[in-house]
Amino acid sequence: MSKRIALVTGANGGLGESMCKALHDQGRQVIGTYLPGQEEAATAWQQAMQEAGYTIEMRAVDVADFNDCQRLLTEIESEVGPIDVLVNNAGITRDAPLKKMAAEQWQAVIQTNLNSMFNMTQPIFAAMCERGFGRIVNISSLNGEKGQFGQANYSAAKAGIYGFTKAIAQEGARKGVTVNAVSPGYIDTPMVRQVPEKVLDSIVQGIPVGRLGQPEEIARAVAFLTADDAGFITGTNMSVNGGQYMA
């Protein structure tokens, strides 16, 4: 049996890299995506992964553009094979209090973090159902669960992922296609480490386990939900936040 093909958007970020590694270790043929215009960084990342023993192909796509997503997905199916596992991980932030938030900041985050769920999933969902197998994991956030000051756009987009996940989970349930969400808390990534030290210390103080999460801990949740024998888990959200928010 050939390897199942797994596609991870935003692969060369802190979380995306760990997800790619975990899926590779799971025996998947992994393809990652990066934002067009970042070819040099993507090539360097792919080479570093190769040196570490991970064969991960990188392809460019703008997840906020439906036509570009359709182009990518058609190319992968034609050149590599049908996608069995999809991890919708790509996302951005454009933080500002609502009274100072520009319409462009709102639209950019909604398009990249929420519209991308439709853009990447809709073109391949029917084919997954027809084949009788599919694993889709949508990456939400702690701040989609509880909200966050200065992130009305981000929190709204990440909260919207739950409704999308539950709706299409029902559509794929009898077809062997599971759809779940993972909501990371504060994870030890380069982006989080850019937060001022005093602010970061206060964040850690609010996490019951007393530390930031590790990217591998998010990747472990993704690997669990995408396993072949995870077919009875669908329409759910896995919160991986060190106890910071308990729903």
**Digit-coded pLDDT (tens) for 53-78:** 999 999 999 999 999 999 999 999 99
Interval 219-232 mean pLDDT: 98
User: CA 71: distance to chain centroid?
Assistant: 20
H-helix segments, 150-236: 152-172, 190-193, 197-205, 215-226
pLDDT at res. 11: 97
Please determine, looking at this structure, whether the domain spanning 5-187+216-235 carries the CATH number 3.40.50.720: yes
Structure tokens at 180: 């779940």
Is the distance from CB of 162 to CB of 114 less than 8 angstroms? no
Options 34, 54, 154, 162, the catalytic residue: 154
Residue 74's pLDDT is what? 98
Q: How is residue 72 written in tokens?
A: 């990518």
Is pLDDT at 129 greater than 70 in this prediction? yes
CA–CA dist 93, 181 (Å, integer) = 19
Q: What is the pLDDT of residues 15-54, one digit of tens each?
A: 999 999 999 999 999 999 999 999 999 999 999 999 999 9
Q: What is the pLDDT of residues 170-180, one digit of tens each?
A: 999 999 999 99
Report d(CA 224, CA 222) in Å as an integer: 5
The ranges assigned to domains in the chain are: 5-187+216-235
Per-residue confidence at 1, pLDDT binned at 50, 70, 90?
A: low
Mark residue 115 as left, alpha or beta (left: phi above 0; alpha: psi -120 to 50; beta: remaining).
Answer: alpha
34 is annotated as an active-site residue: no
- How far is the CA of 84 from the CAs of 14, 44, 72, 189, 191, in angstroms? 23, 27, 15, 28, 30
